[in-house]
Amino acid sequence: MIRAAKDYAADLKLVENAKSNLQSVKDILEAVPQIGVEFEDPTVSLEKKHLVIDRVFPKEIRNFLKVLCDNGDFGLLDEIEQAYMELTKTPEKVEAQAELTYVTPPTTEQMERIRLFLAKECNNPDIKIVGKEDASIKSGFIIRVGNKEYDWSEQGRIDQLQKHINQSLSGKKLATVSEESIISILRADIADFELAAKDKEIGVVNWVGDGIANVDGIDHAFYGEIVLFDCGVKGMVQDVRRDEIGVILFGRDTEIKEGSRVVRTGKMAGIPVGDAFLGRIVDALGAPIDGQGDIAQDGYRPIENPAPSIVDRKSVSVPMETGILSIDSMFPIGRGQRELIIGDRQTGKTSIAMDTILNQKGKDVVCVYVAIGQKASTIAKLVNTLKKNDALDYTIVVAATASDPAPLQYIAPYAGTALAEYFMYQGKDVLIVYDDLSKHAVAYRAISLLLERSPGREAYPGDVFYLHSRLLERSSRVTAEAGGGSITALPIIETQAGDVSAYIPTNVISITDGQIYLESELFFAGQRPAVNVGLSVSRVGGAAQTKAMKKASGSIRIDLAQFREMEVFTQFSSDLDAATKEQLQYGNSLMEMLKQPLYRPLSQSEQVVSLCCATHKVMMDIEKSKIKQFQMDLLEHFNTRQTAIMETIERDKVLTDELTQQILDAANAFKASYKAS
């Protein structure tokens, strides 16, 4: 085992009377040099060395000498002594100069008290004090020495009191608290308030650019801590090194330059949360960007939060209906599940997520849409769609646009999840959409390369897997003791030319509970949503599917897979037998039935009716181009004329043979009148 001299010196500090005992060892070795020679000789047995140590050297230091012999490091004794002296020497006097900021120069008595304070804090009775006048502090003094700041100013007292009051009122819903209660809270807090004249650790910027700043002088910052620059821009500690820290900036770096001051806040990066965020559009820091004024907050949550433990989780058993027939029938999603939506650009990934949000209307589900690196015009279009369909009232949009710095794009999904967790731990069901995590990974890659971290596969850093795993693991369904809510995640990943084996897609596929794969060929052929039946899967959705849906869907997935395979084999054949023609016709009718207009989600009863009619081949003899219109007219007929059937399905969520027959009889009667007209 190889250990540095300073490590041994640290162990030596634990030895009683180490200094005098070490001197005794050196005196003995000087008097009898042969002992030192034998101790350094590897051919001499350890038993012999230990025997000599026990007979010759002081009792307090024997074990330490034995460790040196056992490790073959006895020759380092001189270096250990030097390291020990360095370690135990009296601290050096620090900082020969301090800066004193004031409005009115201090009196002689005040100056003497300041000198005594600095002499004690800096271990330097001769420290030089340089005065500086600044009217902005109102009254009092601010002392800056090295990377520390002591704030005794009036403005500093006001800021501390304000912070104290905010902490006291955080988590209290002021709308439900009376004016008298608030006043009593404030009175108690002001009475108990004591000014904390603690030092602030201050650093200076030594390099800045591309949303990254390297800071010297801050030695005790922790990962994820918020720091404040003198221009008002906030940043988050992302890299902790031996002699500096790397900070990602949550704003423009135009006002930050080399030499700018940076102050620790001691707070983890977080976001304000509250019920008032529903219906609002905010940035990655929780600030409103919809022009509707400030948002009342009920608390503050860190953006990075541990995922629920195993004992706090419940199994997925309640469906999260998307309203999309092809998904709910074949790849159902349950509350607390993480279902990946993956495909090339412009294949309808966002449309599936939006339809799912629209389908939650009236179901007491909170929706969070996180836009990462999207065009501002695209986000505006989505917001208008939500407004038009009355879905914005139960939705929060967290937007980090393409023009925002990479750090804001990086924290956006974590901020969105913090908002979702606020509702989950209140017992509510939440649907969160990450659109998309490919751009999130790119933003993190940019940050990591600027921080000079080693690149790995496709230039992504080695911890990119952990980046998404710690995000998606926070989505779950928790027990009643833990809050009783759930977060269902729909992460979106964009592929290049259908390559699902790329680095980011494979990583996220392994983390999620299934994926909905959208195929470009199907999309361009007019099949929308363009869900590939073969590559799509839901690993836990079957447990969350209602009995009615499970029975109605039957073997539709197998039938479609067989149809697609047969279609490939028969596309060059002109002579087909009757059975093959029938199967192809049936497959075509299923594909047409699964087509769905944009922003037209189907209720569970509408889906069950559609599936019943399709699997019992009610639509087979209808012309292919008219199947979709027939289906929509049929559903309209059931919603207006067969309300008893629809209500039974929605209420019981069970499809009996009797109910199936009623659906088929009504459908066939409608088809007869439909053909006649």
Give the distance, in angstroms, between the CA of residue 45 and the centroid of all CA atoms in the same chain: 57
Coil/strand/helix, residue 638: helix
Distance in angstroms (rounded) separating the CA atoms of residues 113 and 13: 36
- Angle 24-25-31 from CA coordinates, rounded to 5°: 90
Q: How far is CA 562 from CA 99, 317, 602, in A?
A: 81, 30, 26
Contact 615, 556 (CB under 8 A): yes
First-to-last C-alpha distance (Å) of the chain: 92
DSSP per position, 213-231? EEEES--S--TTEEEEETT
Distance in angstroms (rounded) separating the CA atoms of residues 156 and 195: 9
Contact 455, 468 (CB under 8 A): no
Please say whether the dihedral angle defined by the alpha carbons of residues 468, 469, 472 and 474, taken in this order, is positive or negative.
negative
Q: How far is CA 449 from CA 252, 294, 464, 502, 574, in A?
A: 19, 36, 12, 20, 58
DSSP per position, 236-268? EEEEE-SS-EEEEESS--TT--TT-EEEEEEEE
Distance in angstroms (rounded) separating the CA atoms of residues 614 and 646: 17
Beta-carbon contacts of 265 under 8 Å, excluding residues fewer than 6 positions away, are 225, 226, 227, 228
Give the distance, in angstroms, between the CA of residue 497 and the centroid of all CA atoms in the same chain: 28
Residue at token pair 């439900």: 176
DSSP per position, 35-60? HHHHHH-TTS-HHHHHHHHHHHS-GG
539 as an active site residue: the answer is yes
Give the distance, in angstroms, between the CA of residue 450 and the centroid of all CA atoms in the same chain: 21
Q: Which residues pair with 676 in a beta bridge?
A: none
E strand or H helix at 669, and its extent? helix 657-676
3-state helix, strand, coil in the chain (%, to 5): 45, 20, 35
Q: How far is CA 630 from CA 321, 559, 635, in A?
A: 24, 21, 9
Give the distance, in angstroms, between the CA of residue 311 and the centroid of all CA atoms in the same chain: 21
Exactly one of 115, 453, 539, 564 is catalytic; name it.
Answer: 539
Residue 643 CB-density burial (10 A; 0-12 exposed, 13-18 middle, 19+ buried): exposed
Distance in angstroms (rounded) separating the CA atoms of residues 26 and 82: 13
Q: What amino acid positions are annotated as catalytic residues?
A: 539
